[in-house]
Amino acid sequence: MRENFLSFSLPLVGQEEIDEVIDALKSGWLTAGPKTRQFEQEFRTAFQTPSALALNSCTAGLHVALKALNIGPGDEVITTPMTFAASVNVIEHVGAKPVLVDVEPDTLNIQPDAVQRAITHATKAIIAVHYAGHPVELNALRSIASEYQLHLIEDAAHAVGAEFEGKPIGCGDNLTAFSFYATKNLTTGEGGMLTGSQELLDHARIVSLHGMSREAWSRYAAGGKWAYDIVEPGFKYNMTDIQAAIGLQQLRRFPKMQDRRRQIVEMYNEAFSRHSAFLTPVTRSHVTNAWHLYVLRLRAGELSIGRDQFIQEMTARKIGTSVHFIPIHMHSFYRDKYSYHPDDFPIANAAYQNMLSLPLSPSMSDQDVADVIEAVLDIRSQFGRRRAAA
């Protein structure tokens, strides 16, 4: 057994990030400034996005996206129950109604057919979440959005580096929000990026900084002008140069970090796919999975313990895990407000009962990976169903 506890998802941060942060501190620009603009430009180049707006979270990106698209009271937004609450909270924040539909059995992404069935005269947008780093079926959702004249917003919190049919997630003109939270594939500690057409991002940039007609950093730069106008009531959602400094160096190491994630996934798949007790994650042939999460599902009837005890056994073996996610309709606010029952979305509910996320980080050593595999297989050996001899 391990001597030290293996945290679920430690970021990989090196001296390069530290030096870049020190450079930002010495420059005198601590809030949004030149490093933030550089980060936006380099992110745009790296992932072929039309434009990019650096923010303090992916949640901010989704909120700004809804506001920039003038979605509000009386509107409905279709999304998935298999996501973190932020994806749906922002719909409530603008006064619109979230409409949940079930997910695909294999990818756990939103079902396009279910989206189409849920459309009403009040539907204004779809928020599609690229669950665990596996892209949604974008062609189908784009077709639905076009047919019904809906906005398509992509929640790409898990999907930095993912591709759909060879094109990076975020390369389209529609608004797409990325996360740089501490556990994400590319981190700035806290932070996010909103991408989309230049026209949409110009509006989003105003919404993201108090509704000011001028950016804060340009007001205080050499030759900047003090006068500004508030053109609409906006938010305080900007990224800082200290965060952007970390992001700049994370971008440089990103390809190697992704390679390491894929190596770990291959080791996990090799170890677990041969056992009937486990259902390993899928990747469809026309996508590149970002592998933000490795979600292992326990097959019903193959173990004498459930998911919760499985996690306890992992913890006892000093391996950190998590669950992604408690479906939205099972949280008390949404359950009570919309009278949801767990079985209203049976695929999401069934998956939730049997899933756990294993450690997946480029900071992990081969020994760390081996320890995770050993722990999982040891639990299977101890609690696997014994079949009677023929």
216 and 310 inside one domain = no
> 359: domain range?
254-383
The pLDDT value recorded for residue 388 is 47
Query: Based on the domain organization, do 77 and 95 belong to the same domain?
Result: yes
184 is catalytic: yes
Which of 193, 222, 250 finishes a domain?
Answer: 250
In this structure, are 349 and 231 located in the same domain? no
Looking at residue 277, its pLDDT comes to 98
**CATH code, domain with 237:** 3.40.640.10
* Cα angle for residues 140, 91, 77 (degrees, 5° grid): 30
The arithmetic mean of pLDDT across residues 225-244, rounded, is 92
238 and 305 assigned to the same domain: no
pTM of the model: 0.96
Question: Do residues 234 and 108 share a domain?
Answer: yes
Q: Of 250, 269, 290, which one is at a domain's C-terminal end?
A: 250
Phi-psi bin for 328: left (phi > 0), alpha (psi -120 to 50), beta?
alpha
Q: What angle do CA 11, 91, 185 make, to 5 degrees?
A: 15
Instruction: Please write the tens of the pLDDT for every residue from 88-135.
Output: 999 999 999 999 999 999 999 999 999 999 999 999 999 999 999 999
Decide: 116 and 275 in contact? Cβ < 8 Å.
Answer: no
Mean pLDDT of 334-357: 98
User: 191, 226, 250 — which closes off a domain?
Assistant: 250
Domain-embedded: residue 8: no
**Among the options 167, 184, 225, 256, which is catalytic?**
184
Task: Count structural domains, the chain.
Answer: 2
Does residue 389 register a pLDDT over 50?
Answer: no
One domain for residues 343 and 214: no
Q: Which helix (H) or strand (E) holds 296?
A: strand 294-298
Percent of the chain with pLDDT over 70: 96
Q: What is the CATH number of the domain that holds 367?
A: 3.90.1150.10
Mean pLDDT of the chain: 96
For residues 88 and 295, what is the distance between their CA atoms, to the nearest angstrom?
Answer: 21
- Same domain, yes or no, for 159 and 236? yes
Same domain, 228 and 290: no
183, 250 contact by CB (below 8 A)? no
pLDDT digits (tens, 9 = 90+) for 363-372: 999 999 999 9
Nearest to 283 by CA among 390, 162, 180: 162
Mean pLDDT, rounded, for 20-45? 96
Phi/psi of residue 59, each to 5°? -55, -45
